[in-house]
Structure 1
Amino acid sequence: MPRSSSVIPCLRYADPGAAIRFLTEAFGFVEKLVVPSPDGGGIIHAELVTGEGEARGMVMLGGDRAFFDMRLPKQAGGVTDCLYVVVKDADAHCARARAAGADILEGPLDRDYGSREYVARDPGGYLWDFGTYDPWADPA
């Protein structure tokens, strides 16, 4: 079974360009596709990837234009979700994120279920949980 997921989170940011810069610098995402707005005044869609081989993941993002009932965390008055990303070395990943200005809320620490992880908030207000627990891995 492939380890990549067909579920792709989609996030909205007030400044998608700044979000892309932060997510690539702090969390190590890589730009796959960035679609500028026709007037050149912003970004209407972007796809960022992480991981390698079969263990790749993606987030899509866009601006704060109306999209059904989606709200930015600040508009909604809080965050209702957290994105979990599998990483090989949570301590090194956290150090990179901290150096890039990420708001580290917890960790790195060891969880009861065997994961080493940390939680960070990005400038858009979203919560990210980076950990070594890999739900796709074969049990030992």
Structure 2
Amino acid sequence: MRNDGLMIANRSIPSATVIPVLVYPDVRAAVAWLTEAFGFVERVRIGEDHRSQLRIGDDGAVIVTDARREQQPPQPGIVTHVIKVRVPDVNAYLERAQAHGATVLQEPTEYEYGERECTVEDLGGHRWQFTQTMRDVAPEEWGGVTVNP
């Protein structure tokens, strides 16, 4: 970080503020699948099968890494995380993911907070929630509280 509080740009890391690092047993297979099924684009490869940086949309990013020692992929029946990705068309993303073998955990559903969402599980057991904004809704309209606008 610079003295003025702004981040220094670095081409060796995605520019997103939050970057999930997801563990897969086979990095190359995960990259190929995420590219085909979800439309991610590989931006940096580290070793043949150690790590890969992917991007999606204007500012989305994820790092795919190999399983080793303390880093283990998800286990069946244990949910430790869900990655939420904003998309322009939930149906299109769901159809694409299904065509590549994603397991649908929740069909597209519209919620009172203005989002239409579906949840799928990828080849490595990670859960992804695609969300499409249907309308602008103040949190107070559905029982939330705006803490810091």
TM-score for both structures, normalised by structure 1: 0.79
Output the CA distance in 2 between the equivalents of 1:17 and 1:5.
22
Matched residue, 1:30: 41
In the alignment, residue 32 of structure 1 is paired with which amino acid?
A: R
Partner of 2:10: none
Structure 1 position 47, deviation (Å): 0.4
Matched ranges for 1:64-83 at <5 A: 64-66=67-69, 69-74=70-75, 78-83=78-83
The residue number in structure 1 matching 2:4 is: none
Letter in 2 for 1:110: E
Q: Provide the rounded CA distance (Å) in 1 between the counterparts of 2:122 and 2:74.
A: 11
Could you give the per-residue CA deviations for residues 84-128 of structure 1, whole angstroms, max 9, x where no partner exists? 000000011111111111111111121221111110001111110
Runs of 5+ consecutive residues of structure 2 not aligned to the other structure:
1-14, 139-149
Paired AA for residue 47 in structure 1: Q
Question: What's 1:40 paired with?
Answer: none
DSSP 3-state at the match of 2:29: helix
RMSD over aligned Cα atoms = 2.3
Structure 1 counterpart of 2:66: 63
Does the Cα contact within 8 Å between 1:79 and 1:125 map onto a contact in 2? no
Q: Deviations over 1:69-97 (max 9, x none)?
A: 432212x8622110000000001111111
Change (3 A) 1:58 1:103: same
Give yes or no for the alignment of 1:124 onto 2:124: yes
- State the one-letter code of the partner of 1:101: G
Largest Rg, 1 or 2: 2
Query: Structure 1 segments of 4 or more deviating over 3 A?
Result: none
* Separation in structure 1 between the aligned mates of residue 97 and residue 81 of structure 2, nearest angstrom: 20
Aligned residue for 1:89? Answer: 89
Letter in 2 for 1:7: V
Q: Do the aligned partners of 1:105 and 1:121 also contact (CA within 8 Å) in 2? A: yes
Question: Which segments of 5 or more consecutive residues in structure 1 lack a partner in the other structure?
Answer: 38-42
Amino acid at match of 1:16: V
User: What residue number does 2:20 align with?
Assistant: 9
SS of match in other structure, 1:132: strand
Contact 1:31–1:48 (8 Å) recurs in 2: yes
